[in-house]
Amino acid sequence: MRRRTIVRTAVAACSFSLLAVLAPAAQAHGGHDSHGGHAGPGSAAYKRVGYFTQWGVYGRNYQVKDLETSGQAGKLTHINYAFGNIGTDGRCFTGNVPGEADAWADYVRPLDAAGSVNGTADTAEQPLAGNFNQLRELKAEHPGLKVMISLGGWGWSDNFSDAARTPASRKALVSSCLDLFIKGNLPLDSGRGGAGAAAGLFDGIDIDWEWPGSPGDTGTAYRPEDKKDLTALVHEFRTRLDAYGKTRRKHYDLSAFVPTAPAKIDAGFEVPKLMRDFDFVNLQGYDFHVSGETTTAQQSALYARDDFSADSTVDAWLKRGAPARKLVMGMPFYGQGWTGVTGGGDGMGQPVTGGPAPATWANGSEDYKALKKLADSGTYKLYRDNRNGSAWLFDGTTLWTYDDPQVLTAKTGYIRHRGLGGAMFWSLDGDTANGELMTAVDRGLNRR
């Protein structure tokens, strides 16, 4: 789900000073008053949505228990589990299919007592193990925490367009997703799963179709009809979730990850109609520029003149009819990087000869926890554009653009000032072991 888009003075620590920094920039970008004003009192209203990656339990060794030991779990309102897949038959599915589904990670893999949230080892007899069982244990520790299944992502959106084409195909998709994830009827695998094995685990569905009506990953189908088909699909999800929720005396959340580019919004999203059915949407707040480009640029700035930014994304959705309270701002827990940067200076806006910078897992993309070590090493200089809300590291050759706690503090002030719904993070495994970024967001949203 990696998404694709600036050291002068410190961001003021107190909220009054922070708003003084933000307000002039907000007015320069269209002003907040025309879009709903300030947030209401009480931080409980702010959503804090973090993505947990299914595959992170392997090479990264980032387990559900780490959400507890880092302190992140107590600061989140929602965990989005990435991802659920849709097959060529237009139905949600799971199994052990390399590159397509991983039931082993989801609910088959046993964990010992040391790896378990509640300190109890999994047994051979229990129908649910793996990440799903650990998420259930995490919810028991944090009764207000919700877990959502996120469908699609960059790599698994291939079949959304086909599955959304007709009333019959939409009903089949929604029915299969609710059966598998909401009702928890998992396929039997190595003695795990079965009818109702994961019942009660998921509290809603997050639609991560990248992108309706626009090109996405190689092999992902798209067509002009996607725009109206998405509206119909979302309404089908809303109707079916509400109907099932009545039988359980429960409201199931429905959300989506949505793009920053106005062209993609207009090609695929009937905003006013969709927002009636969504509880909230998570705005793309990163990958405004990526390491494959030949010139360095900010990837997640709060403001940017004549460029993508978090602020321009918010404005684009507000102007198309989305209510501010349903807009959740995406924030990166990773950075985009280039090497072979020429032109000197602070490195920003300069030509690149070396391409994506070497990194731990994938060149050009590095976790915040690794970038923090670079910043502390003394080999890189930290630069800031506090007016526009961005930061980057540059050593004369390699540049990394990313968000640190200071940038996130500015962004939480913006969320409060604009009356938005909260903050979203991709992805939780990029944070430090003590949840430094999550703590910064939580403190920022709790300010009065």
The residues assigned a catalytic role are 210
**Single-letter residue type at 275:** M
C-alpha distances in angstroms, 279 versus 111, 260, 288, 412?
A: 34, 19, 25, 20
Quote the CA–CA distance of 323 and 97 in Å, as a whole number.
40
Q: What length does the chain have?
A: 448
Cβ atoms 132, 103 nearer than 8 A: no
Tokens of 108: 């088959």
H/E element, 310: helix 310-319
The residues that bridge with 254 in the sheet, in sequence order, are: 205
CA 388 centroid distance within chain: 22
- DSSP code for 44: G
With H, G, I as helix, E, B as strand and everything else as coil, classify residue 226. helix
Q: What is the DSSP string of 132-181?
A: HHHHHHHHHHSTT-EEEEEEETTTS-TTHHHHTSSHHHHHHHHHHHIIII
Cβ atoms 162, 221 nearer than 8 A: yes
With H, G, I as helix, E, B as strand and everything else as coil, classify residue 415. helix
Cβ atoms 410, 11 nearer than 8 A: yes
